[in-house]
Copies of this chain bind each other. A is one copy, B any other.
C-alpha cells in the first residue's frame, strides 16, 4: 500500500501539467481501504434482491426496494433523500401465482413465467394444447370458434445447442487493447436495407409481426385460455422479453406464459408428432393503477465549497428489473455499487466541494424513462435542445448497468478531452484490472439521457461475466450471480471518480452540444 502511494505521487510530479487531474493519493487510499476492506456491497445487494424481490416498474417489489433505499441512504447521513416523480408510467404488475404442468402424456411441471403485464387464467384451467400453424393472417381463420378456454402454442422454437463456451468470462488483455486503440467514429444516419438477405429478413420480420398482431387480437376475441411462448435460454435458464402494455388504457391481452426452452420444445415435438398434450395451469397476476407516476430515488452529499457547491457530480443506475428473478445483475449490481460508493464517501467523512447526487432510476427497462424524465424536468429537452440553467451545473454523470463484472475502464462516449483525465484517475486502480480508456460509445442505458442534452455521461467497461449467457433479463438473475470482489472494486473506483470530479478545479470537459432532433414526419 505504501509503495502504491509513492508511485502515485511520483506520477503526479512527473506530469505536473495534469496536476489537477492527479488523484490525491491519501484520499484515494482511504477510499480504497473503506471500499475493499469494509464493504457493505453484499448487504445492500441482499436487500435489493432477496429481500425486495423482482422490481418491475411500479410493482410492489420496486416500491419496497425504493423505500428501503430511502431509509438506508438517510441512515448513512445523506441529505435531501426522497422519491421524486419523473412522470406518468402506467400500471404496476406482479405475479401472485404461477403453476403449470403437463398432465398428458405424463405429469411434468413446467418452468416458465407469466409475461409481464399479462392477466392470469381466472382460476385453474386444463386443456389439450392446440398447435397453431400460421404463415399468414388468412391462415388464422381456420382456428376461429375453436380456441375458447384452450391452451395454445405457436409452431416455432429453436433446437438447443450445447454450451461449448464458458458461461462466465472476463475481457482478455487483447480485447481491452483493441478498445483502447479505437478511433472516434462519426456515425452516419441509419439506413434501411433496400435489398439482399437483410431486406428479406426484415420483410419476414414485418410479416411475422403482422401475423402476431392479428393473432393477438383474434385470441382475445376468441377468449383463449392461455398462450405458451418459447423463451430463449436453456438448461433451466430462460430469458423474458417485453410483455404486454403497461399503459393505463392498454387493450386487453390474453394470459401468456414464457416457457423455458426444454419444456416448450418437449410439448412442441409431441404436438408435431400428433401426440396429444394436456396441460393444467393456474396463474394469478395483479395490476396496480392507484398511482401511475414513476419515481426515482434521489439523495445527496451536499457540496461545501462556496463557489462550487451549486455544481453537481451525479452517479446512478437503474433500480427497476424484470419480473422472473430478482434482477441481481440487471441492475441491483449497478445500484448496489452506486449506493456503496456513496456510503464509502460518507464513511471517510468526505466533504466535497461540489454536491454529489445519487439517482436510482425506475422504468429503465421500458425505455430509460426514469432518467429521461429526470433530465427533461431538470436539464432540458433533447428534441429541441432548449436547456435549463441547471444543465451547466452538472459536471458529469457516471452510470453502471452491465452486470456484476468488475470495472476494466471507461467508455468516453466520444468525449476525447475527458480521456487523459480518466486515464489519470484510473492509475491507482490499474492493479485491480481497471486500465482502459476507449473513445467508444456504449448504449442501452441511462447515461444516454444525459449525453442527449450535452451533459457528460459515462458508463464503465465491465467484464462480461455471465451477463449475456445467463443473467440479463433471465429467471436466473439472482444474488448467486453477484461476484463480491467485483462489486467492491467497482464501488471503490467509482467513489474515487466521484471524489475527483467533485474536487477538480474545472468541470469535466464537454463535447459539442448535440443538434436538436428534427421532428419525425
Contact = CB atoms under 8 A, between A and B. Distances in A.
A98 to B, nearest CB: 5
A480 interface: yes
Contacts of A326: 266
Interface stretch (A128-136, A155-163, A197-205, A309-317): A155-163
Interface residues of A, number: 57
A53 B266 CA distance: 10
Given A235-B235, A235-B237, A236-B475, A265 B480 contact: yes
Contacts of A260: 236
A334 to B, nearest CB: 18
A160 B480 contact: yes
Interface in A59-112: 60-61, 94-99, 101, 105-109, 111
Interface stretch (A137-145, A164-172, A174-182, A299-307): A164-172
Contacts of A52: 105-106
A169 B166 CA distance: 11
Contact of A166 (B96, B160, B163, B269): B163
B236 A111 contact: yes
A178 to B, nearest CB: 22
A46 interface: yes
A470 interface: yes
Nearest to A102: B53
Given A99-B109, A159-B480, A483-B162, A270 B51 contact: yes
How many copies of the chain does the oligomer comprise? 2
A234 interface: yes
Given A46-B273, A162-B465, A270-B50, A235 B167 contact: yes
B53 A106 contact: yes
Which secondary structure dominates where chain A touches chain B? Answer: mixed
A106 B62 CA distance: 12
Nearest to A277: B50
Given A107-B95, A237-B235, A50 B269 contact: yes
Contacts of A50: 266, 269-270
A50 B102 CA distance: 12
A246 interface: no
A483 B61 CA distance: 42
A106 B65 CA distance: 12
A466 interface: yes
Nearest to A475: B236
Contact of A107 (B96, B238, B470, B481): B96
A346 interface: no
A425 interface: no
A260 B480 CA distance: 12
Contacts of A163: 163, 166-168, 466, 470
A209 B266 CA distance: 38
Instruction: Specify which of A98, A109, A261, A269 lies most central, judged by the most chain B CB atoms within 10 Å of its CB.
Output: A109
Nearest to A46: B269
A162 B464 CA distance: 12
A503 interface: no
Contact of A105 (B53, B95, B159, B234): B53
Interface in A229-288: 234-238, 260-262, 265-266, 269-270, 273, 275
A119 B234 CA distance: 30
A479 interface: yes
Contacts of A496: none
A478 interface: yes
Given A235-B476, A236-B237, A236-B238, 8 more contacts: A51-B105, A51-B275, A53-B108, A96-B107, A164-B169, A166-B166, A261-B480, A266-B478
20 contacts: A46-B269, A51-B270, A53-B105, A98-B109, A99-B101, A111-B111, A111-B236, A162-B167, A162-B168, A163-B167, A163-B466, A164-B166, A167-B235, A236-B237, A236-B260, A261-B480, A265-B480, A266-B478, A266-B479, A269-B479
- Across the A-B interface, the 3 shortest Cβ-Cβ residue pairs: A236-B236, A163-B167, A53-B106
